[in-house]
Structure 1
């Protein structure tokens, strides 16, 4: 009888398990990849170009990341981690809930409104990125990780009796959707520049989003 084709997905190449990797070179590769992807798009950049930009060999790039998709995903994860480090979701229960939400809100709005983020958003909306499922890869490596960390923070506050939320994942996505608001759309559409956003208006917008979230899900002590 003919053998059935395996339904398992192809195994993606991974970095070789040889000697310990040079973390300085890894950081240089990630920084170069982020610049190049934003400047030229995913299709407009080769691994050779990223290696040259980082000042390393192409073999070194493959040794660290395996392939271009893996490098793209790691660059997305690294960008989100730099803009919204784990400390933004500090589990310290002594920090008042509203203060913690404001910290997260400021970090998130600063991240999504940066020129690099706006350029990246536009790139991800191109047909080529959608067809290759790279937009999905970016989402899982970056924004989804941020939402997961925020959801974990919400779970801790629910356990402490400060919040009452039936669907934590939904509440998490609602919080970040509120923060994007009209300003993010205007930036993406080119209707205004980041420098035109008034700091006081930004702070008022973030505070209004936090207060709306707390009215919906907060519990009085």
Structure 2
């Protein structure tokens, strides 16, 4: 909902502009709506969630939900993005001049696997694979989640390559390869319900192996 800016009356000071789109009036309510949406979409699926239901779960009015997000598609996109940023905030991908590349890759690997192995992420991925989900919804999910993460990681790889630490001819492909290595067979088995999240030591070995293979391919000698 777009707020209107009152016109200044003659001889009077103009009123302070109202908050525009993308500038929420109440960050606490926005956070509550997103938290409710993340849980509802992962448990009920896109079709099973209504704006009324989200408002009730967040403890706000339906009008408040619409004023922050506009429609259900925008709310779904924001919920996916918020879930990604919860596990993989932007500063995780910031170049660290004084930090070892290997350690940053490990940190990103652990954060990524924690994200994709969370109950909400697994439920959402299964929803995307269901036959009753249209391509438009899958595209929204992809752009807000995997595509955003891959782009942020590719930018980090470029910064490292510019400093001479990596030799990568195709940054986007390399980013995709890294996350595929981190997923491995382990994530596929979890998606199929064949295993639970591994213990910390086994997960560490799994991620370290992926990082080492990635560096073997792209680390500048």
What is the TM-score with the length of structure 2 in the denominator? 0.89
Matching of residue 105 in structure 1 with residue 109 in structure 2: yes
Aligned residues: 203
Of 94, 99, 104, the residue aligned with 1:95 is 99
Residues 17 and 143 of structure 1, relative CA distance in 2, 3 Å threshold: farther
Q: 17-26 vs 163-172, which deviates more?
A: 17-26
Alpha-carbon deviation of 1:132?
Answer: 4.7
Q: Which residue of 2 aligns with 1:117?
A: 121
Q: Which residue of 2 aligns with 1:27?
A: 31
3-state DSSP of counterpart to 2:132: helix
RMSD of equivalent CA atoms? 1.2
Alpha-carbon deviation of 1:136?
Answer: 1.2
Q: Which residue of 2 aligns with 1:41?
A: 45
Of 52, 65, 70, the residue aligned with 1:66 is 70
Alpha-carbon deviation of 1:48?
Answer: 0.6
Q: Which residue of 2 aligns with 1:198?
A: 199
In 2, the alpha carbon distance for the partners of 1:35 and 1:16 equals 28
Q: Which residue of 2 aligns with 1:8?
A: none
Of 140, 143, 146, the residue aligned with 2:146 is 143
**1:11-36 Cα deviation digits (max 9, x unpaired):** xxxx4235442111111111111111
Q: 120-129 vs 105-114, which deviates more?
A: 120-129
Q: Which runs of 4+ in 1 moved over 4 A?
A: none
Alpha-carbon deviation of 1:156?
Answer: 0.4
Q: Which residue of 1 aligns with 2:164?
A: 161
**1:149-175 Cα deviation digits (max 9, x unpaired):** 100100001100010111100000000
Residues 148 and 206 of structure 1, relative CA distance in 2, 3 Å threshold: same
RCO comparison, higher one (Cα < 8 Å, 6+) = 1
What is the TM-score with the length of structure 1 in the denominator? 0.89
For the 8 Å contact 2:43–2:120, the answer to whether it is kept is no
Alpha-carbon deviation of 1:119?
Answer: 1.2
Matching of residue 215 in structure 1 with residue 219 in structure 2: no
For the 8 Å contact 2:109–2:182, the answer to whether it is kept is yes
**1:77-108 Cα deviation digits (max 9, x unpaired):** 00000110112112121111111111111110
